[in-house]
Each structure stands twice: as C-alpha cells, then as structure tokens.
Amino acid sequence: MALCGSKINVMSRGFHTTPVAQEIRKMARLRVVDNSEIGKSAMLEGKPPRCIHVYNKRGVGFLGDKVLLAIKGEKKKAILVGLKQNQSPRIPKFDSNNVVLINDEGTPLGTRIHVPIPHILRTLLQEKTQTKGADYTKLLAIASRYV
Amino acid sequence: MASVGRILSHDIRQNIQNFKSLFGKDCRWLSSQAIETQAKSSKENADDKRKVDDRENTAPLEFRFKYPEFLPDPNAAYRNSTRERLERMDMMARRAHIDIPTFYVGSILAVTLSDSHAVGKTNRFVGICIERKGCGLRASFRLRNAIDKQGMEVVYNMYDPTIQKVECLRLEKRLDDKLLYLRDCPIEYSTFPFDMEPELIDETAPVRINTLKVPLKPPPWLERWERQDLKGVQEFEVNEKRRRKAEKHKTPWEEFDLMKIYRQTIPMEDQKDIFAEVYSDLHKLEITRRKMARKRKFNRPDKPT
Amino acid sequence: MAGLLKSFANLQISCKFLHPRVEAITVPSRGRKHLNYWPRKRNPIWLTKQTRVQYNENLTADNARFIKEVVDTKYSNSELSLGIAGSLRTSPLKVEPIEPKAEWQPSYRRTGVIAKKIGIYPLWLKNGKRVFTTLLQVLDNHVVRYIPPEDYKPILFKRKHKNNPRQERLGCLVVGSDSCDPQKFTKEYCGLFTDSGVMPKRVLTRFRVSPEAALAPGTPLVAAHYKPGQIVDIRGKTIDRGFQGVCKRWGFKGGPASHGVTKTHRRPGNIGGGGEKGRVWPGTKMPGHMGNRMRIHKGAKILRINTKYNVLWIHGISIPGETNSFVSIYDTILPLRRLKESPSFPTYLPTADEPLPEELFCDELHPFTEPTIQFSEES
C-alpha cells in the first residue's frame, strides 16, 4: 500500500521537469545512438547512461567533446555527436543529446550510427586527434548520414 | 475631439484584431493608422496626404509581410536613419546575387549552402520554417525536420553569403506565428522528405493557410504551452494547478494598450519611406523570379523524356 | 635692572618679527594624498559657456520665418544627418593649403576624428565567419584650432606626463563635429569658430598631435583619414546605468535564491577583515554609480569604410556609449599594433583627379557585392 502511495506521489510530483539549462554536465542523461551491444541494451531497458565526467576544462560538454559514461554499471568513454542546446547558425540542434561509445584508442564500439551527425564534427574531431593519442576520426567512418 | 479619438481608437482596435487574427502577436508592421486618418480628416495637410497616397501606389501593402526584415527595430534607442539605409543597401546588394523567395512561418524550405566541413563542400537541408526573426542583416529563420526519427533544427541567417540557394518547396502559412510547439508534438508532424518536389506557386492567388491542428505529447513540455494562445494545436488537458496559473498570467488588457502597440510598431509613414527606397529593386527581382518560374514550368514536361 | 629687563623684552619682540610665522590654518592631512577623486573634467580657459537661456526675443512672425529659412538653408539638418562627404562645406576663409611639410615617421602622432556611433550589424568574412561590427559615422568634422606645444598648458596635466619631454613636444588640435543652429549657442561660444570660419559645432574634442601633423583651422576631416585594416583606439562615454548593486556593477555572484536564505540574494557579503587592518580597504568593490564614464576601447580594427557616407565599420561591439552618442577615434597607442606603413599624413585631402572608391574593404572581409562564397577542396 505504501509503495502504491509513493508511486502516486511520483506521478504528480510538484516540481517542474523541464530542463533548466540543456548542458552536458555531470549526471546528465544521454542517448546512445550507435549499435554497440551495451549501448543498445541500455537504451532498450530504459536505463540511459549518465555522464560522470567531461574531458575538458569547463566541465560542460560541447559538440565533439569526450565524456565518461556510467552505463549498466560500467564506465565507458563516449563522444558527443548531437546536442539539445542552442547552436550557432548553420549547425544543427538536435532533440536529444546523442553520444557514440568509443574505447581508449578512439575506436567506436558499434559498427553503425543510426541518426545523422553534424558535418562540423569532421573538422572538430580531426582537430582533437593527436598523432600519438587516440584517433577519433574512426567514428566518422561509421556514420550513416551527415546534416 | 473626444469623439474623434474614440473613432480612431476603434479603427485601430479593429485593424489590430484583423491583423492579429491573421498574423499573430509579434508584428512590427501593425502600425498606427491614427496619424494617417488624422491627415485625411484635416484639410491643411492636403499636400501631405497626396504624397502619402502617391507612395502608397509605389510600394504595395503586402511588402511588409513579404519582406519584414526591411523594417527596422522599433526600439528608438537603436534607430539611426543612416545605419538603416546602409543596411538596406547591403541587403539589396546580397539579394542581387541570391534569389530569396517569399516565405512565411509554416512554409517548407530547402537551403543549399557552401560548407567547408562537408565532403562536397556543399550542404542541403530541408525543413519547415518554424520561426522567423531579426531585422536588417540579422534576419534569420529556423528550419525543423526529422531524419531517421531524430528531430533537428538549423538556424540560417538570411543574408549569409555562404547560402547558395533558398528554395520554397511549399508556400503556405500556419495558424500561429511561431511553430516552436512542434518540438513537443509527435515526430511525424515535423518529418519532411529531402527529395520533395517544389510545388508550383501561383503568384497572384492569396497565400494558402494550412489549418492543420497538431496534437501535443503529454507533459513534461519544453514550454508552458497552456499559457500561450496557440491556434494550431488540438485541445489538450493540463492539471488544475497549471490551468489556474495560466489563467492568472493572462493579460487581456494588453490588447487595448495603444501605447504598447505604438512602441512595438513602425509607423505607417516610415514603412512607406523604407519600401519606397527598395521597391523598384525588389520589384525587378520579383519579375525575374517569376520569369524563371515560368521557364521551369514549361521545361518540366520535357525532363522525363 | 629695569633697563636691562626692558631691553630683553625688546629683544624678544624683535625676535618675534625676525622669525616669520605662517598664520594660515593648516588642516592636518590623514596621510592620504587626496581625500576625494580628482575632478573628472576641467575645461580649458578658452572654452566658454556653450548654451544660453532661450528667452522671448519679440521677433515678428516674418522675421522669425526669415531666420528659420536662413538657418535651414545654411545648417539644414537633413544633409548633415547623412554626413555625405560631398556636402562638406569648406571654410570660406583663405587658409593656406596644408602641405605635408614632413614625411611620415612612426614617432609622429596624427590627429583623430569625432564620430557618431550609429549602430551594430553583422558582416561576413571570406571564410564564412560572421563578425559583428559597430558603425561609426565621421560626422561633419572640421579642425577648429591649433595650439602649438609651447602654448599648450592644460589646467590639469596628467601627473605621469609632467616633465615628460615626449609629451611636451606635442601640440594640440581642437576638432569640432555636428554643426548646429547658432541661435542655440552663446555669442562667446560662437566666437570660438571665427578663426576657422566653420559653423558652430556642438561637440569639441582636443587631440594631441606632433607639430608636423598640425592642420590649418577649417580643414575638413573625413572617414578616409583611416584605411581599412588599421587599428584604432576609441574613447567615449559609457552607457549611464545609474546606481547599481554589486551583482550588476562588478559581476558578484550574489547569494542563493532559496534554502532558508533571507534578504541576502544580491548582497556583497563581507567587505573586509578584522584585527589590525580592521577597516574597509580603499578600492573595495561596492555598490555605486555605474557607467557615464570616459572609457577607451583599445586595439579595434577597421574592417570597412564608406567614403560617401563617411562611415567606419569597426570590428566588435564593445565600443563605449549608446547608439547616437559621440566617440573620438585616434590611431592606436598599443606598441605592437601601431601604424607601420605611412597613413594619409597629416590627413586625407580629397582631390578631384583621383577620387577614392565609395567602399573600401579590408582583405579578409567578404563584400556583399561579390558572389556567394564557395569553398574549394583543398589538396
């Protein structure tokens, strides 16, 4: 009975659920858009991963930034490939915050990205790729479509 | 005098209501009919009146809906006649190189632009125009589409020199002046195919108004839609508290706030001066566009063969 | 004994007179150089009261109309507001034409110009990037007066400039802008313009110049004084925001909005420590009047020049002042971005045989008259 009551409370919660600032910070929920096993099952189970770290100095993730995810009890790295926040002219703004899972070398875990990704990522990821570090441009090869 | 004032205000109110019913709230062109009516009533300003009428003949009234970006920001703190003239000169210089078709919020557009990041250095996007704002060279529009069930939006500056081509695939209006609520609608209402054929546009006929009413998804929403007077949305229910709050935030008196409307609009006389300056060039561009359209129309049957 | 005493008393009196005493009352200083701020602006002695009280001059209707007609033809505002270069009226006085007496050298300082901030709008670069530009119109500028270095003695000479030989070598050029109806000014103020033979100006500014860059009074200054791509400094009065709190004035964070906080949402918090230095230190950021101060925006680049309307497009939006306010522009003093090539020295003088094009663009700017930007595949 108590459980039932609590459920009702959740349904009619008093605070608003609209996003305050559509920014990728720690604890932001993201959507995995590649066909990697772990990502697909997490999204199907309704347990979208959370961002637990952003690898830049501001702590706010932007297009092409690397983030650390907590996904199904594991820690995985991912690249932001589409954002909900307002973008500058000519760059698309998406309805969800999309990520593609990668490993430490920058190789994507999946083999296909099933939503479009922005063209500007080609430049951004090339800039981020160092000769000795991870090669993020491998992600571009598995994209199905660019906008 | 009092009676005159009442008549004038009645005129204005009716005008405003007519405009509002057609074009929504955010209009920089609602304008003051009062001064003009006064000029007509007084015999002293007969010369002025004639001048006004002459200008009326040169620039048609629908220009302020077709080319709203030529009207400056009504805030007096930002206005300067020289700056506005230079801005218009730049806009016309850009329009000489690119044909920007007439479109409204609700029309479906295709934008081709040169993109240094893309593979072929060009990029094409198709979508429904859900917002149009800014004046002068800052004018921009926002296109929305859904590809692979992923909704996305792109903002374009109208006078951006990287834009190669703007096509109006379907010319129509919707019931609202902003369609931002499409973000909270089922995805099929903002899905348009990229290979859409441009529809033939009859320049003489009035612009078609699409009276489609879209359903909203259940909350949480991105905005408090119940507080906005949306016409293109199906009936929806909100809980008692939100309904009460929406009721509380209504400002029905603003409809009759003449000063507010005056501050938010460009006077009719200024509008005429502005459009008189660019009318001949715009008219020439329009004629060439019509010629091109006719050419396309005649060429089309040949294409399949 | 008595005589001895008397002579001693006399000696005392004489001693009193021998040692001069200052009778003025001195106020003890509290160890600070000055208690209040220096006055922000001290006008030079020759600058008289500008405007006068408008009173009824009992003019007949005919006379009033006649005066209005004369003023309209002579000072018609419609032309001036456009500031078109062709409408610039030169001085009727016979002034000797300025010849560049000396070749330009990097150490020479040219005059500046007065401009009106007329708005902000975007332009695009050749790489497709959008930049916001501020438009400054060089409105009806004329040289009003030249003060040679030996005569230039400002009331308030900046302390750092005192005994600085470099500063003492500079003269001063008074430049005026925005001609107005002379009826609005006092006769003394109108008298300032008799030497130059130009109309009374509403705005006057002094520019320090090298004697080699001095100009004859009555010389018009136009936007082509500068070249596109040049770096300038812009001095103007910032927007007056009135008395403001610390959040707006200094960007303090304020306090939390909720969680039991009362009356401490936009307050500064602590303003100083206790103990030995238990006082508020000078310069502590506090609420107060914000804006309406002279500020210099240094190192702004000129992207585009319109020689017909005399407009400069300056990169950036942080030019001090509101739209339709006046600013003064001069060559930058930043050491690494100073003029390297010869500008039009001492100023640009329009010549009939080789007129400038109407629009001048900086190299990286995309003119709207050119076709759409196309990117090519780099090899």
Domain C61-241+290-361: state its class. mainly beta
When computed from its CA atoms, the radius of gyration of chain A, rounded to whole angstroms, is: 17
Does residue B288 form part of some domain? yes
Range of the domain at B187: 98-250
Scored b (16 or more CB within 10 A) or e, B177-212 reads bbbbbbbbbeeeebbbeeeeeeeebeeeeebeeeee
Site from B152, B183, B223 to mutate, A interface, most A CB atoms within 10 angstroms: B152
Q: Quick one: B109 and B245 in the same domain?
A: yes
pLDDT value at residue C57: 83
Q: Are B278 and B92 in contact (CB under 8 A)?
A: yes
Residue B109: burial class (beta carbons within 10 Å; 0-12, 13-18, 19+): buried
In contact, B285 and B48? CB cutoff 8 Å = no
pLDDT at B274 over 70: yes
CA distance B206 to B185: 28
Specify the pTM. Answer: 0.84
Q: Do C121 and B116 touch (CB under 8 A)?
A: no
**A146 to B119: CB separation less than 8 angstroms, yes or no:** yes
**B9 and B46 together in one domain:** yes
B161: which chain A residues are within 8 Å (Cβ-Cβ)?
Answer: none
Nearest CA in chain C to B135: C121
Among candidate residues B58, B79, B84, the one with its CA nearest the CA of residue B69: B84
Residue B67 lies in a domain: yes
Distance CA B141, CA B168 (A): 13
What ipTM did this prediction achieve?
Answer: 0.84
Residues B273, B186 share a domain = no
User: In Å, how far are B45, B305, C1 from B36, measured between CA atoms?
Assistant: 10, 58, 112
Q: Judge whether A114 is closer than 8 Å to chain B, CB to CB.
A: yes
Please state, in angstroms and as integers, the Cα–Cα distance from residue C288 to each residue in C43, C249, C283, following that order.
Answer: 26, 8, 12
Q: Hey, are the CB atoms on C81 and B116 less than 8 Å from each other?
A: no
Chain B residues in contact with C137 by the CB 8 A cut-off are 82
Residue A116 to residue B148, Cβ atoms within 8 A: yes
* Distant-in-sequence contacts of B75-81, Cβ < 8 A, 24+ apart: B75/B263, B77/C322, B77/C323, B78/C119, B78/C323, B79/C323, B80/C118, B80/C119, B80/C323, B80/C324, B81/C81, B81/C82
Helices assigned H by DSSP within chain C: 2-18, 61-75, 77-82, 165-168, 187-191, 246-250
* Residue type, position C246, single letter: V
Q: Residue B78 and residue C119: Cβ atoms within 8 Å? A: yes
Q: Total domain count for chain B?
A: 2
Instruction: Give the count of Cβ contacts less than 8 A between chain A and B.
Output: 74
Average pLDDT, chain B: 83
Subunits next to A (3 or more Cβ pairs <8 Å) are: B
Q: Say if residue A35's pLDDT is above 50.
A: yes
Lowest-confidence segment of B38-42, B126-130, C166-170 by average pLDDT? B38-42
Residue B276 lies in a domain: yes
B37 with B140, same domain: the answer is no
φ and ψ of A107, to 5 deg: -80, 130
Q: Which residues of B touch C (CB under 8 A)?
A: 77-87, 90-91, 93-94, 96-98, 114-116, 121, 136-138, 157, 159-164
pLDDT, tens digit (0-9, with 9 covering 90-100), for B133-172: 999 999 999 999 999 999 999 999 999 999 999 999 999 9
Q: Is the pLDDT of residue A13 over 60?
A: no
Task: Note whether B120 and B189 are same-domain residues.
Answer: yes
- Where does residue C379 rank: exposed (0-12), middle (13-18), buried (19+ CB within 10 A)? exposed
Beta carbons of C372 and B77 less than 8 Å apart: no
Q: Is the domain of B19 the same as that of B146?
A: no
pLDDT tens-digit profile, chain C (379 residues):
556 556 655 655 555 555 555 556 665 555 555 555 555 567 888 888 888 888 888 899 999 999 888 877 776 655 555 556 445 555 666 666 666 678 899 999 999 999 999 999 999 999 999 999 999 999 889 999 999 998 888 776 666 677 777 777 899 999 999 888 888 899 999 999 988 888 889 999 999 999 999 998 888 899 999 999 999 999 999 999 999 999 999 999 999 999 999 999 999 999 988 888 888 988 899 999 999 999 999 999 999 999 999 999 999 999 999 999 999 999 999 999 999 999 998 888 877 778 889 999 999 999 999 999 999 887 4
Residues B29 and B169 in one domain: no
pLDDT-based confidence at residue A15 (cuts at 50, 70, 90): low
- Whether the CB of A12 is below 8 Å from some CB of chain B: the reply is yes
Q: Are B79 and B72 in contact (CB under 8 A)?
A: yes
CB-nearest to B83 from C118, C130, C373 is C118
Categorize the per-residue pLDDT at B117 as very low, low, confident or very high, splitting at 50, 70 and 90.
very high
Both ends of chain B: CA-CA distance in Å? Answer: 72
**Residue ranges of domains in chain C:** 61-241+290-361
Residue contact B125–A147, C-beta within 8 A? yes
Asked if A17 is an interface residue toward chain B (Cβ–Cβ < 8 A), one would say: yes
* Better pLDDT: A123 or C166: A123
Cβ of A116: how many Cβ atoms within 10 Å?
22
Residue C198 tokens read as 């130009």
Asked, for residue B256, whether it belongs to a domain, the answer is no
**What domains are defined for chain A?**
18-141 (2.40.150.20)
Read off the pLDDT of residues B199-228 as tens digits, 9 standing for 90 and up: 887 778 899 999 999 999 998 888 999 999
Inter-chain CB pairs, B–C, below 8 Å: 80
Residues B104 and B245 in one domain: yes
Q: In chain A, what's the furthest Cα-to-Cα distance? A: 61
Pair B140, B241 in one domain: yes
Q: Do A116 and B115 touch (CB under 8 A)?
A: no
What is the structure's pLDDT at C94?
A: 61
B192 pLDDT band, cuts 50/70/90, is very high
> pLDDT tens across C151-179, in order?
888 776 666 677 777 777 899 999 999 88
Give the chains touching C; criterion: ≥3 Cβ pairs < 8 Å: B
Measured CA to CA, the distance from residue C333 to residue C277 in angstroms comes to 40
Cα–Cα distance for residue pair C119/B198, rounded to 1 Å: 39
* pLDDT at A1 (0 to 100): 34
Please give the structure tokens belonging to residue B220. Answer: 């949480």
C303 in Cβ contact with C133 (< 8 Å): yes
* Dist. CA C297–CA C236, nearest whole Å: 8
| One domain, residues B238 and B288 | no
- What CATH number is associated with residue B244? 2.30.30
B118 and B228: one domain? yes
Residues B63 and B121 in one domain: no
How close B169 comes to chain A (CA, Å)? Answer: 19
Sign of CA dihedral B113, B117, B121, B126: negative
